[in-house]
C-alpha cells in the first residue's frame, strides 16, 4: 500500500517541515517518528572501556571488541532497529587503529569520534584513504569549529556529519536550535551531504532542554535529531548511592525510550555492551508509535520493530 508522505496521523508525529530521510551506508535515518525505526548508537574504545588491556599503550582485547560489536549487530537484527558504532580515539594513532579494526568487523556506519580536532582530522584522513567515507559520520561539528577543521572536511570529501549543539554563548533549548541555523549554511558550503543533530545532553538537568531542541529542530528544519542521552544517567551523581547499583541499567533504557517517545530519530546510548537493555526498550516505543500510522492505513516496512518483537 502506498500512502502519501504528507499524511499526518497524529499531532505527536506531525511537524511543519518535511521530515527528511537520509541514508548513511546501508542505514536509513529520519522521517516521521514511528515509521522509520530509531537508529541506536553504541560507543566503543571510550575512556576506561574494559576492552583495553593497557589504554595508555592502546592495547586491547580484539576478541572482546568483536564480541561486543557482534552482540549489537544481533540486537539490531532481532529488533529491527538499525545500529551504528561511535568509535572513540584519544590520539591520532589510536583513532586510526580503532577505525581500521571496527570497520573490518561490521558493515554498520561509524561515528568518527576524536577527542580533539587534530585527532578527528587524522581519523578523517585515514577513512578517506581506506575508502570508508560512505559510512563515516564525523563526530562532531560544533559552533566553535575552526577554519582548519572546515578545510579538512572539504579536502577529504566528508559526506556525513553530526552537529553537536554545544553552544556556550546560549546553553538553552533555543540556543541549541540557533546553533543549527548558524551551522547549516557552512555545512552546505563544505559539500557535506547529510547531517544529524545531537542536541547535547551533559547531565540530568540538561535533558529537558535537549528534548525540547529535538522537537524544535525537527519542526523547523526536518532533519534527523537525537542525542547522547546516556550522559543524563552516566553523570547522575546520586543515582547509585541513593537509588542503588541496580537502578543504572533501567534508567539507561528509560532515557533512551523517552527520547524516542518525543520523536528522536537516533540515540547515542553509551557503552556498546548496554545494547541488551536499550534495543528492547526502544523497539517497544517504535512499535507503539507505529500504531498511530497504522490507524491511517500507513504500514511500516516489514523490517520495522512492530513486525519483529511481537
261 within domain boundaries: yes
Q: Express each pLDDT in 133-158 by its tens digit.
A: 999 999 999 999 999 999 999 999 99
Asked if residue 155 lies in contact with residue 189, where contact means CB atoms within 8 angstroms, the answer is no
Residue 200's CB: how many other CB atoms inside 10 A? 23
Domain that holds residue 56: 11-307
Asked if residue 68 lies in contact with residue 272, where contact means CB atoms within 8 angstroms, the answer is yes
127 within domain boundaries: yes
Predicted pLDDT of residue 143: 96
Which is nearest to 168 in space by CA: 145, 152, 192? 145
Mean pLDDT of 165-170: 93
Q: Express each pLDDT in 178-192 by its tens digit.
A: 999 999 999 999 999
19 within domain boundaries: yes
Choice among 1-5, 87-91, 275-279 with the minimum mean pLDDT: 1-5
Q: Express each pLDDT in 216-257 by its tens digit.
A: 999 999 999 999 999 999 999 999 999 999 999 999 999 999
pLDDT band at 3 (very low <50, low <70, confident <90, very high): very low
- Cell 595508555 locates to 56
pLDDT band at 1 (very low <50, low <70, confident <90, very high): very low
Is the pLDDT at 273 greater than 90? The verdict is yes
H-helix or E-strand spanning residue 23: strand 21-24
4 within domain boundaries: no
Helix boundaries (H) for the chain = 62-79, 92-103, 117-129, 147-155, 173-189, 207-220, 231-234, 248-261, 275-294
Q: Grid coordinates representing 157? A: 570529501
pLDDT band at 5 (very low <50, low <70, confident <90, very high): very low
Tally the domains of the chain: 1
pTM above 0.85, yes or no: yes
Partner residues linked to 41 by β-bridges = 84, 268
CA distances 21 to 62, 131, 151, 265, 298, Å, are: 35, 24, 27, 10, 17
Q: Are strands 21-24 and 27-30 parallel, antiparallel or unpaired?
A: antiparallel
| Mean pLDDT rounded to a whole number for the chain | 95
CA distances 208 to 55, 191, 228, 259, Å, are: 34, 32, 13, 10
107 within domain boundaries: yes
CATH (domain of 146): 3.20.20.20
42 within domain boundaries: yes
CA distance 175 to 177: 5
pLDDT band at 12 (very low <50, low <70, confident <90, very high): low
pLDDT band at 14 (very low <50, low <70, confident <90, very high): confident
16 within domain boundaries: yes
Is the pLDDT at 126 greater than 60? The verdict is yes
Which is nearest to 212 in space by CA: 286, 168, 263? 263
104 within domain boundaries: yes
Q: Express each pLDDT in 21-75 by its tens digit.
A: 999 999 999 999 999 999 999 999 999 999 999 999 999 999 999 999 999 999 9
As a whole-number percent, the residues of the chain with pLDDT over 90 amount to 94
Asked if residue 270 lies in contact with residue 43, where contact means CB atoms within 8 angstroms, the answer is yes
Q: Residue 84 half-sphere exposure, CB side, CA atoms within 13 Å?
A: 32
Amino acid at each position: 500500500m502506498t500512502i502519501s508522505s504528507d499524511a499526518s496521523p497524529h499531532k505527536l508525529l506531525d511537524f511543519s517541515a518535511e521530515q527528511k530521510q537520509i541514508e548513511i551506508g546501508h542505514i536509513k535515518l529520519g522521517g516521521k517518528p514511528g515509521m522509520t525505526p530509531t537508529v541506536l548508537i553504541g560507543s566503543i574504545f571510550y575512556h576506561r572501556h574494559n576492552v583495553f588491556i593497557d589504554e595508555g599503550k592502546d592495547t586491547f582485547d580484539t576478541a572482546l571488541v568483536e564480541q561486543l560489536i557482534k552482540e549489537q549487530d544481533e540486537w539490531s537484527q532481532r529488533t529491527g532497529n538499525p545500529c551504528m558504532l561511535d568509535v572513540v580515539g584519544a590520539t591520532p594513532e589510536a583513532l586510526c587503529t580503532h577505525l581500521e579494526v571496527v570497520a573490518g568487523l561490521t558493515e554498520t556506519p561509524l561515528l568518527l569520534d576524536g577527542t580533539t580536532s587534530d585527532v578527528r582530522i587524522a581519523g578523517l584522513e585515514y577513512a578517506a584513504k581506506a575508502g570508508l567515507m560512505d559510512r563515516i559520520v564525523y563526530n562532531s561539528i560544533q559552533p566553535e569549529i575552526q577554519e582548519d577543521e572546515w578545510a579538512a572536511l572539504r579536502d577529504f570529501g566528508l559526506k556525513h556529519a553530526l552537529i553537536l549543539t554545544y553552544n556556550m554563548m546560549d546553553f538553552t533549548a533555543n540556543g541549541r536550535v540557533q546553533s543549527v541555523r548558524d551551522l547549516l549554511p557552512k555545512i552546505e558550503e563544505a559539500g557535506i551531504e547529510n547531517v544529524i543533530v545531537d542536541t547535547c545532553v551533559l547531565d540530568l538537568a540538561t535533558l529537558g532542554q535537549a528534548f525540547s531542541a529535538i522537537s524544535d529542530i525537527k519542526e523547523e528544519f526536518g532533519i534527523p535529531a537525537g542525542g547522547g542521552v546516556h550522559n543524563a544517567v552516566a553523570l547522575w551523581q546520586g543515582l547509585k548511592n541513593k537509588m542503588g547499583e541496580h537502578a543504572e541499567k533501567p534508567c539507561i533504557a528509560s532515557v533512551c525510550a523517552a527520547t524516542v517517545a518525543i520523536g528522536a530519530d537516533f540515540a547515542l546510548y553509551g557503552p556498546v555492551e548496554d545494547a541488551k537493555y536499550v534495543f528492547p526498550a526502544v523497539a517497544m516505543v517504535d512499535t507503539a508509535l507505529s500504531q498511530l500510522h497504522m490507524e491511517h492505513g500507513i504500514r511500516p516496512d516489514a523490517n520495522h520493530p512492530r513486525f519483529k518483537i511481537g
